[in-house]
Amino acid sequence: MAFIARFSAFVGKTFALWTILFAVLGFVFPSTFRQLTPYIVTLLGIIMFGMGLTISADDFREVVRRPLDVLIGVIAQFLIMPLLAVALTRIIPMSPEVAAGVILVGCCPGGTSSNVMTYLSKGDVALSVACTSVTTLLAPVVTPFLVWLFASQFLPVDAAAMFLSIVKVVLLPLALGYLAQKLMPGVVHAAVPMLPLVSVTGIVLIVAAVVGASRGAIVQSGLMIFAVVILHNGLGYLLGFFAAKATGMSLAKRKAIAIEVGMQNSGLGAALATAYFSPLAAVPSAIFSVWHNISGALLANYFETRTEEPEAGAKPH
């Protein structure tokens, strides 16, 4: 049991490497991994159930304690990334499927790995967790609406069906996980150290399945999609940081908002794209899963060295 817990922690810390490895495996052995495509929704449900096992009332106390900070983070998340996605689809020529996929991942809630990156960056972790939790709970309503608003020009969007899907694969597993920790606290406490292994396994299998199912399209337009993802993610960090700065937030809060905005729940994006659009539309989410863990770690390393500058006239401590 101790070995599994240590291995799980190791896998969690090396998440980006495993994601890259399985993306490559999906590309090299497409016929093997494309068989996992029907199970993408199930894998995402397992990941969200694991999140439910760790979520607590403390995660939402920040909403009551400082609602304005959380509101700014949530608005930035659901405003900056969708609008950036729309702008990129206008500037860079791409097929309707890829454009819909880029917009879809932009309309997703924040990714849970943003909390880890915020911690590594010495940012405001409580604010990051609160923003992730609130955007995740709002996702069933906000994500389908934004996708319908911005992506229906490219492909038909069934917002009602998408709403039900997010309830099934996000809210229901979250609720069941939360209920499990209340009914079986001892069992859940023992299982928590193994959750990084479960979550990473779920994400890397989703990535490999999407890459395997879309290998041909990736060969043709993979570099373009990768460039779009890098721009989307990087500009998300940048605009998130300056949105927080413009509202007078401290450096620790700016770090949290920047990372929160730039990192998406790309697993949800891949699941929805596969279910409602096409495997090709899921490729931006799959590449986002790989890239944002690399860029997030690099940004966290940079942020970790940055400290709040003393105000003019203030004496150094």
Closest CA to 214 of 292, 314, 284, 159: 284
User: Residue 93 and residue 265: Cα distance in Å, rounded?
Assistant: 25
**pLDDT at site 1:** 66
pLDDT digits (tens, 9 = 90+) for 82-121: 999 999 999 999 999 999 999 999 999 988 788 888 888 8
User: Residue 187: what are its φ and ψ, rounded to 5°?
Assistant: -65, -45
Residue with tokens 């932009």: 106
Closest CA to 132 of 300, 231, 256: 256
Residue 89, SS3 per DSSP: helix
User: Residue 192 and residue 189: Cα distance in Å, rounded?
Assistant: 5
Closest CA to 15 of 292, 301, 299, 212: 292
User: Residue 287 and residue 224: Cα distance in Å, rounded?
Assistant: 11
Q: What domains, with CATH codes, occur in the chain?
A: 11-304 (1.20.1530.20)
pLDDT digits (tens, 9 = 90+) for 249-303: 999 999 999 999 999 988 889 889 988 998 889 889 988 888 888 888 889 889 9
User: Residue 134 and residue 287: Cα distance in Å, rounded?
Assistant: 25
Q: Rg of the Cα trace of the chain?
A: 19
Per-residue DSSP letters for 258-294?
A: HHHHH-B-HHHHHHHHHHHT-TGGGHHHHHHHHHHHH
User: Residue 265: what are its φ and ψ, rounded to 5°?
Assistant: -80, 75
Of how many residues is the chain composed?
Answer: 317
**pLDDT at site 75:** 96
The token pair at 236 is 């998300």
User: Residue 243 and residue 165: Cα distance in Å, rounded?
Assistant: 31
Instruction: Using alpha carbons, list the distances in angstroms from residue 107 to 11, 25, 174, 220.
Output: 28, 28, 20, 25
The token pair at 44 is 């995402």
Task: Using 70 as the pLDDT threshold, list the residues of the chain that sit under it.
Answer: 1, 309-317
* Beta-bridge partner residues of 110: 264
